[in-house]
Structure 1
Amino acid sequence: MPIPNKPLLWLCAAWFALGLAAVVSPGLALAWKIAGAALLVVALADLFAGRQRRGSVSVSREVHHALPVGTWQTVYLRLTAKVRICGWLSDRHPPEFGDIGLPLFFRLEPGRWLKAGYRILVTERGRQEFTAVDLRLCSPLRLWLIAETLPVTSSVRVYPDFARITQYTLLATDNRLSQIGVLQRRRRGEGMEFHQLRDYRQEDSPRQIDWKASSRMGRLISREYQDERDQQIVFLLDCGSRMRARDSELSHFDHTLNAILLLSYVALGQGDAVGLSTFGHEHPRYLPPKKSVATVNRLLNTVYDLQPTLQTPDYLVAAESLLKHLSKRTLIILVTNVRDEDDDTLGPAMTLLRRRHAVTLASLKETVLDELIEAPVTDFDTALTRAASLEYLHARRRQTAILRHGGVQIVDVRPHQLPVALINHYWERKRAGAL
């Protein structure tokens, strides 16, 4: 459908003004009629010529086939034209994505090409589709914009934020992990596997000194220990309704996946095997614990299209299902959002899992609740909101206290704090020999 462009609107406005002048001065009536006829002829001729330009512009899209969620990415569009032409371009990216830079203005010469880019904010995981490119081509006199849609399709996979793994790797290489909050505590010296003998260092504990070796060598020799290896970690991931909350651009579920991937990378680097089991959705998934270098990629491909559902999680059924797959002692990390109504299945599930395995419960706090409590009370409605929030938090604390009293270790943090909190918890358990 043709769209009147600004020059045509200005000409119509001028013709309308001439008509008003003709009312005051009848001698201008003939000029007004001639101008109107001329404007009509020129506009129709320009419209006809503009319609002939359809199909004269070709567009291709350049976008990475794998994108991390929660990041800004650049999409490039390559344009070529058979004639001299200008116009506006808009890309039909996935509707959940944000964008900066659209629509794009372009001007092309015959046989030349142009590469233009815009930015997208990737906010939704899974398989996403770019469906088409919308053009508004200027007619030769620029009186009209001729709309045209080109079926330029691209399919991308949006994964959890694997850029965090790259950041972790770089910081680990430079021994700067404290910048993201990872605490590297000294080893306790007990419950570790013997690694090697080496010269004594000033910071070594006296318990590390090997007196027999020191006597033979004539100098102090220390035993060096390493963390136990060949252990197993399995994430038990809640995909139910309570993981749908969203406090920022990323949902609680997305923060959880980022944390799982980052901790998996850390654990694999320590020689441990990592697996995954999901529940709270129609088709639960299970990835057996592996410690190969390809495990992170397998995790990415297993979870990238997972979305939280409306189902109510049944922790006991999930625990029973997971135990069918595990024969070796395993650290099971259940990631969910603890509520006060979890008494029926969460407690029994924790008891069942702890009979043969080490268990950690990672629970996500809703940031919005803290904001509601800290907000000033100005009227009756805000007072009710604060009272309801306090009651909910009190019930939640009561539930976590019951679980802690039963021997369950709990990591209770806000979603954005989960990656670092889980890594620190892993180090604590591993160096205490409690996996």
Structure 2
Amino acid sequence: MKKIISLFYSNLFLSSRLFAALSGCVVLFVLSFFFPWLGVIPELVFWVLLLLTIIDLLLLYRTANAIFAKRQAPERLSNSDENELGIFIESKYSFTISVGIIDEIPFQFQKRDVWFKTILKSGEHKLISYMLRPTKRGEYEFGNIRVFVRSPLGILSRRFNFEQAEILPVYPSFLQMRKYELMAISNRLNEIGIKKIRRLGHSMEFEQVKTYVPGDDFRTINWKSTARQGNLMTNFYTDEKSQQVYCVIDKSRAMKMPFDSLSLLDYAINASLVLANIALLKEDKAGLITVAEKIGAVIPADRRHTQINKILEVLYKEKTRYLETNMEALYTTICHVIKQRSLVVFFTNYESMNAMQRQLPFLKRIAKLHLLLVVFFENTELKQLSEQPANNVEEIYIKTIAEKFAFDKKLIVKELAKHGIQSILTSPQNLTINTINRYLELKARQKI
């Protein structure tokens, strides 16, 4: 009995309308001392208010399970993307009610204003949708759903609690991966910034002999088949397949730096996932290596349908380390795992020439065995500082330092090119598009 009474009081709230009405009653009682002609009006108003409060209480509590609410969420969330969630709510009251809903979202979002208001008629149900954008991978714990109901009188408010605690994993950006996948299937990659690369020559991957049509390269005419068929026949070539593409992700402290609330490691992980999926769509083999002070995950290149799920599960668990990258261990692993010439895309970050020079001997060794593409990041904040006008001596000093760091990045690109190493210097926001563009370019130019 005590528990029921306690539950009753804990879920009953007084509205601002009730306090305003009580304040009005107090004012009337005070005025009745100075204006006797008010008579019994203050008492009458008070008793009417008390009666309305009792009626409101009965309206709210006469139905036990008058509200049903449930959170509708996907099985997993996509990192750095807007994920849609919803709250399904249904009223079983016999009158129209005002509803306020609180969804206890995970603390990682640091939001304390997830409050939704709506009006439900008798027997009506609604789906209230909202968006969440996580910026870290891992497990996100959702709490309960709290629903506050008011009758048309609006004097009291009743709270309904729906225990729906659940844990949702946040994976690397699979929504972005699907977007690029759909664009690639429909040949619309150019709509999102992927360039069309002019093919130099043609591939040596023979597919079939077909009838010549105007516009075919006359150099591909198969004269033997032409003589047999009596019509011009031409050889048809297709893109070379089953080439190996390895994404090597640096997990050292250099990748801890945040941009737009997302670390460089997460940008690299999202880009690697998209690149691996595009490579599989192009019928190439995709693989993965992660490295910090020691080798992390190693997934040999493959083109099976389950390969992208393997890569996704591994990338979900990767975290930034706080030591330098062990390039010797990386070189040894590449020699041991990758047996044929492949495209090795190395996602890392250099802030100075000295940092790059320490790794250069191993990069040169890898470049002798494979086509190495080093991807590192522009410091967009320093770039903005270098572009702003300087108004005093301190700002001149800051701008000069920012320009020096930005210039060092360009020198790193030239130094890598001098040793025959491909590189991409990109802002974190454009990382995925620039990486895919370079992969398609290298494939079109038959450099893999």
The bucket for the TM-score relative to the shorter chain is 0.7 to 0.9
User: 1:195-274 residue pairs with structure 2 within 5 A?
Assistant: 195-214=207-226, 217=229, 220-248=232-260, 251-274=263-286
Q: Report if the CA contact (8 A) 2:67-2:89 is conserved.
A: no
* Offset from partner CA, 1:373-424 (integer Å, 9 cap, x none): 2233344554343222212112222223222212210022222322232222
Give the deviation of 1:289 after TM superposition: 1.3
**Residue 27 of structure 1, aligned match among 36, 54, 58:** 36
Q: Does residue 291 of the first structure (1) align with residue 319 of the second (2)?
A: no
What letter is aligned with 2:25?
Answer: W
CA distance in 1, matches of 2:227, 2:169: 62
Range 395-404 or range 132-141, more displaced? 132-141
- 1:280 is aligned to 292
- 1:62 is aligned to 72
Residue 420 of structure 2 aligns to a residue in which SS?
coil
CA distance in 1, matches of 2:112, 2:128: 11
Q: Does residue 14 of the first structure (1) align with residue 27 of the second (2)?
A: no
Q: Does residue 400 of the first structure (1) align with residue 413 of the second (2)?
A: yes
CA distance in 2, matches of 1:166, 1:257: 15
**Residue 430 of structure 2, aligned match among 417, 427, 431:** 417
What letter is aligned with 2:134?
Answer: T
Distance 1:342 1:274, change over 3 A: same
Residue 410 of structure 1 aligns to a residue in which SS?
strand
**Residue 318 of structure 1, aligned match among 330, 349, 357:** 330
CA distance in 1, matches of 2:327, 2:61: 63
Give the deviation of 1:293 after TM superposition: 1.6
What letter is aligned with 1:10?
Answer: A
Q: Does residue 383 of the first structure (1) align with residue 396 of the second (2)?
A: yes
Range 387-396 or range 281-290, more displaced? 281-290
CA distance in 2, matches of 1:407, 1:122: 40
**Residue 200 of structure 2, aligned match among 155, 174, 188:** 188
Q: Report if the CA contact (8 A) 1:362-1:412 is conserved.
A: yes
CA distance in 1, matches of 2:176, 2:56: 53
CA distance in 2, matches of 1:246, 1:215: 66
- 1:356 is aligned to 369
Unaligned runs of 5+ in 1: none
TM-score by length of 1: 0.82
CA distance in 2, matches of 1:153, 1:283: 37
CA distance in 2, matches of 1:131, 1:322: 45
CA distance in 2, matches of 1:392, 1:59: 54
CA distance in 1, matches of 2:64, 2:401: 60
Give the deviation of 1:292 after TM superposition: 0.6
Q: Report if the CA contact (8 A) 1:101-1:119 is conserved.
A: no
CA distance in 1, matches of 2:228, 2:441: 36
Q: Report if the CA contact (8 A) 1:268-1:291 is conserved.
A: yes
Q: Report if the CA contact (8 A) 2:25-2:42 is conserved.
A: no
Q: Report if the CA contact (8 A) 1:60-1:152 is conserved.
A: yes
CA distance in 2, matches of 1:390, 1:19: 74
**Residue 76 of structure 1, aligned match among 66, 84, 87:** 87
CA distance in 1, matches of 2:217, 2:16: 81
Distance 1:192 1:71, change over 3 A: farther
- 1:303 is aligned to 315
**Residue 117 of structure 1, aligned match among 128, 142, 148:** 128
Give the deviation of 1:303 after TM superposition: 1.6
Q: Does residue 373 of the first structure (1) align with residue 380 of the second (2)?
A: no
| Identity of matched residues, % | 21
Residue 286 of structure 1 aligns to a residue in which SS?
strand
Range 75-84 or range 364-373, more displaced? 75-84
Give the deviation of 1:268 after TM superposition: 1.4
What letter is aligned with 2:130?
Answer: R
CA distance in 1, matches of 2:22, 2:333: 73
TM-score by length of 2: 0.80
Q: Report if the CA contact (8 A) 1:90-1:104 is conserved.
A: no
Distance 1:317 1:83, change over 3 A: farther
CA distance in 2, matches of 1:388, 1:234: 36
Distance 1:344 1:171, change over 3 A: closer
CA distance in 1, matches of 2:212, 2:151: 83
CA distance in 1, matches of 2:295, 2:159: 44
CA distance in 2, matches of 1:32, 1:382: 72
Distance 1:32 1:319, change over 3 A: farther
Range 308-317 or range 286-295, more displaced? 308-317
Q: Report if the CA contact (8 A) 1:315-1:345 is conserved.
A: no
CA distance in 2, matches of 1:206, 1:194: 16
